[in-house]
Amino acid sequence: MEIANSVALVTGGASGLGAATVQTLLAAGGRAVILDREGSPGADLARELGDAARFVAADVTREDQVRAAVAAARQAFGGLHIAVNCAGVGVAAKTISKRGPFPLELFAKCIEVNLIGTFNVIRLAAEAMAEGTPGPDGERGVIVNTASVAAFEGQIGQAAYSASKGGVVGMTLPIARDLAPYGIRVVTIAPGLFNTPMLAMMPEEGRKKLASQIPFPQRLGEPREYAQLVKAIVENSMLNGETIRLDGAIRMQPA
């Protein structure tokens, strides 16, 4: 799919991987709706990027709010061709500890946002894409999801997070098959350790220790590198139904 003149919806688009994706798509001639939480820097980012960007405050787990964001993309820019799911939360707790068992509400919240929220956006974005005019090869849309290497090598305390991201990986192929008749592709990226706001809260010593685990390049990934892969996925029509690790060959150890 050509990015120029295409319209994207990017969840978690106000910062980190999502913001880099928005900037990369706009630099390639696309337009984007930034979907992020109320109180995020999304409105400021949209103003900074100009007329090719809009911000919609929304919770990915809310059908009405995601529908409103999809409608905003179609009303502002005339359609929807790309959806990138970057919104997510991290939860860390052992199954049992001195404080007792893993709080069930935290486990449920992680699944709700990372897995159910991703599916909510997929289904509503796909509904809009399916109504579009097909391009070359009959292509109408591209959906890119964000999993994690934790889907494959979850660490101690990552039961909820790994389950949520494993679910994203697991649904990638069946959804790609579901949407194939409509000309909509589905691909998932599984990032390793990236320089995102979540890791930015760690002390520098801890960040260096994490980076040292990566075989090569021995550093944290940068959001722009995630965004470069999104761009490649959108532009390469043979990429479909696949999960791509973006991790510098790291294989996470138990702790």
pLDDT for 142-170, tens place per residue? 999 999 999 999 999 999 999 999 999 99
Domain membership flag for residue 159: yes
User: What are the CA-CA distances from residue 14 to residues 21, 43, 57, 93 (Å)?
Assistant: 10, 8, 10, 27
Domain membership flag for residue 212: no
Provide the whole-model pTM.
0.96
**182 annotated active-site:** no
H helix runs in the chain, sequence order: 16-27, 42-49, 63-77, 104-111, 117-129, 159-179, 197-200, 204-211, 223-235
Res. 236: pLDDT tops 90: yes
Helix (H) or strand (E) holding 187: strand 184-191
Domain membership flag for residue 168: yes
Identify the pLDDT of residue 8. Answer: 98
Catalytic position from the list 77, 161, 194, 226: 161
Mean pLDDT of 10-14: 98
Q: How many domains does the chain have?
A: 1
Rounded Cα gap, residues 70 and 31, in angstroms: 13
Rounded Cα gap, residues 146 and 128, in angstroms: 21
Res. 242: pLDDT tops 80: yes
Give the CB-side neighbour count of residue 48, counting CA atoms within 13 A: 10
Q: What six digits make up the tokens of 16?
A: 């980190």
Identify the pLDDT of residue 238. Answer: 98
User: What are the CA-CA distances from residue 201 to residues 90, 159, 192, 195, 214 (Å)?
Assistant: 13, 22, 17, 10, 20
Sign of the Cα torsion 88, 57, 32, 129 reads positive
Name the 3-class secondary structure at 8. Answer: strand
Res. 208: pLDDT tops 90: no
Domain membership flag for residue 58: yes
Domain membership flag for residue 213: no
Residue 62's contacts (CB-CB under 8 Å, 6 or more residues apart) are 120
Domain membership flag for residue 207: no
Res. 210: pLDDT tops 90: no
Place 255 in a pLDDT band, splitting at 50, 70 and 90.
confident
Helix (H) or strand (E) holding 40: none
119 CB burial (10 A radius; 0-12, 13-18, 19+): middle
Domain containing 16 equals 7-193+226-246
Rounded Cα gap, residues 162 and 183, in angstroms: 30
pLDDT for 64-123, tens place per residue? 999 999 999 999 999 999 999 999 999 999 999 999 999 999 999 999 999 999 999 999
Residues of the chain with pLDDT > 90, as a percent, come to 91
Domain membership flag for residue 202: no
Give the helix, strand, coil percentages of the chain, each rounded to 5. 45, 20, 35
DSSP 216: S
Mean pLDDT of 15-19: 97
CATH number of 19's domain: 3.40.50.720
